[in-house]
Amino acid sequence: MKVLNPDEMRRMDETCIHKYKVPAQILMENAALSALSVIQEEYPHHSVLLVCGSGNNGGDGLALARILFSLEKDVEVLLLGNPDHFSKETSQNYRAVREIGIPLSLNPNDEELSFKPNRLIVDALLGIGLNRTVSEKYKAIIERMNHSGAPIFSLDIPSGIDGTTAQPRGISIRADKTICFGAPKRGNILSPGYVYNGELFCSRISFPPPLIRDWPGKTEFNIPSPLIQRDPLGYKNSFGRILIIGGGKNYQGAPALAAQAAYRSGAGYVTAAVPQSQASGFSAHCPEAVIQELQETTEKTISEKNETLLLDLASKHDVVLMGPGMTGQEETVSLIRKLIPLIPVPLVLDADGLNALAGSPDLTSKRKFQTVITPHLGEQKRLRLGLTEDQSLEERYGVICVYKGPRSRICQSDGKEYINLTGNDALGTAGSGDVLAGMVATLIATQESVIQGVCKAVLLHGLTAERYPGARESFTASDIIEALPRCLLEYKNNYNEMKQTFLGKMKMIP
C-alpha cells in the first residue's frame, strides 16, 4: 500500500481526472459515499453535524450531508469560509445543500455553535492541504469539538494534522474514526498523526487500479514478503552464522539479549565476542552461544588489540552485529571505527556502534557490503551532526536506516521508505533495541535480501508488543524474546490475512 504526501495526492487526483477521464465531481461523490458506508455501519442511529471548511474537504462534507439528508437522517451543517472562493465541485454541493433545505449555518458566531454529545460530528474542516498553524478561529472550534463528548469522524485526515509531517499544526481534532480517500497520507500513518485518526478506513474512490499500482511513490507500508521456508535437510550452518561484538563494564546484558534474540529469530549459529572478564558469565545468559574471549582495556571494555582476530572471525560469519554494550571508552571507539570499513560481510550497527560512527559517514558509505543502522531519536541526532538539512542518514552514510520510534521507518539510500505499523509504547524499555538488533542480524542472514530481512525483523519486533497479554508497564526486553516463537508462527500461518488487513491497522471501504 502506497503512502502519499499531499502534493503526491493532488497529482494523483489530477492524473485520475485528466488521464483516466474521471470527473472531479465523481471523485467527490465517491468520497462522500464511502464515508456514508462507514457512518451506516458504525453510527447508524446518530444524528449528524457536519463541520465543513471552504476547501474540497469541505466539499466532501457537503456532498455527504446531501446524501445523508436523502436518507432522511437528522443532518445539520456548520460551514466556515467564503462561498465565493469555493471550487466548482464544492460550490455545486453548497448550492444543492441550500436548495434542498438542509439546516446550514454559514460562519456561525460562538453563540450559534452547538456540539451535542449524542450527535455524530463529521470533521470536514481543513483536510490534507493545511501548511500553516491553525488560526485562532478554527482553533476555538476544534477545541470545542474535542471537548464536546461527541464521537468525531474525520474525512481524509483529522483537521489540524500536517499531511506530510504528521505533526499537529498547533492543535488537531482527536477523531474516533477517520477515512482517507484514494490512499493513506503520511499524516495518517506516521507518528504522532496516526494517534489522532482513531480507527482508520480507506477508500479508493474509484481510482483505476493502474493509477495506484504504477504510481511512482517511494513510501509504502512495511508489509514484507512471507518468511522463507527453512530447508528440511539443513543444519546449523544453513540457518545463518551471526557474530555479535559487544559488551563492556556494566553492560553485560546487551550482547546477551542480542544473542538470545538471534537464536529465537532462527539463527543456527551465534558467536558472542565479548570482553574476557564477561566471558565466564555469558553462558548463563545464553548457553547456546559460542564465546570468543577478547582482550580488554583497563576499563574492562574491548581492546584495539582484537582487530585482527575480529576481522578473521567476521569472515567466517554471514552477518556481524557490532555495538551493544561496548561503551564510549576511547580505545574501544577507535577499534569500532577501524572495523566498520573492513568487516567483509553485511554489518548491523547499534548502540555504541552508532555513537562511534557519528560524524564519520565515510566509514560506512565506502563499504563493499551493506550496512544497517538502528538509531533511536538521540542517536539519530548525533548521527546528523555535520549533515545539511536536506541530507538523510541513509543517503549520507550509504546505509539502510531503521528510524526507531512510534511507527518506525525503514529507509534506503535510493529513497525507498517502509513505514512500520506494528508496536506500541511497551517497546520503550531497556534492552528492546538490543533485541531488535539481534533479530535484524539473523533475518538479514536467513531471508531473500538485506532489506526484506530488516523489514521482517522490525515488523515482528513490534508484533511481540502487540501480542503481550499483560500490562504494557510490565513488558521487558526478555518478553520480546519469549514472544518471538508465537509471533513467527503467526506471521507464517496468517500471512495472507495480515497482508490483506494491513496488520489490522486500516480497513478498506468500497
Binding site for (6S)-NADPHX: which residues? 56-60, 127-133, 138, 156, 254, 325, 376, 434
In whole angstroms, give the CA distance from residue 98 to residue 387. 55
The answer to whether the beta carbons of residues 332 and 294 sit under 8 Å apart is no
Task: For residue 233, count other CB atoms closer than 10 A to its CB.
Answer: 6
Binding residues, as ranges, are 56-60, 123, 127-133, 138, 156, 159, 254, 325, 376, 404-408, 433-434
Identify the DSSP state of 228. P
Question: CA 40 from chain center: how many Å?
Answer: 30
In whole angstroms, give the CA distance from residue 17 to residue 230. 48
3-state helix, strand, coil in the chain (%, to 5): 45, 15, 40
Task: For residue 37, count other CB atoms closer than 10 A to its CB.
Answer: 14
For every residue of 276-327, DSSP letters joined together read: HHHHHHHHHH-TTSEEEEE-B-TTSSB-GGGHHHHHHHHTTSSEEEE-TT--
In whole angstroms, give the CA distance from residue 375 to residue 382. 9
Cell numbers 512495511 correspond to: 222
In whole angstroms, give the CA distance from residue 17 to residue 339. 55
- Which secondary structure element, helix H or strand E, spans residue 129, and what is its range? none
What is the SS3 assignment for 190?
Answer: coil
* HSE-CB of 479 using CA atoms within 13 angstroms: 20
E-only strand ranges, 88-175: 104-106, 119-124, 152-155
The answer to whether the beta carbons of residues 55 and 28 sit under 8 Å apart is no
Binding residues for AMP, as ranges, are 404-408, 433
The answer to whether the beta carbons of residues 302 and 248 sit under 8 Å apart is yes
For every residue of 462-503, DSSP letters joined together read: HHHHHT--S-GGG--HHHHHHHHHHHHHHHHHTHHHHHHTGG
Binding residues for K(+), as ranges, are 57, 123, 159
In whole angstroms, give the CA distance from residue 118 to residue 482. 45
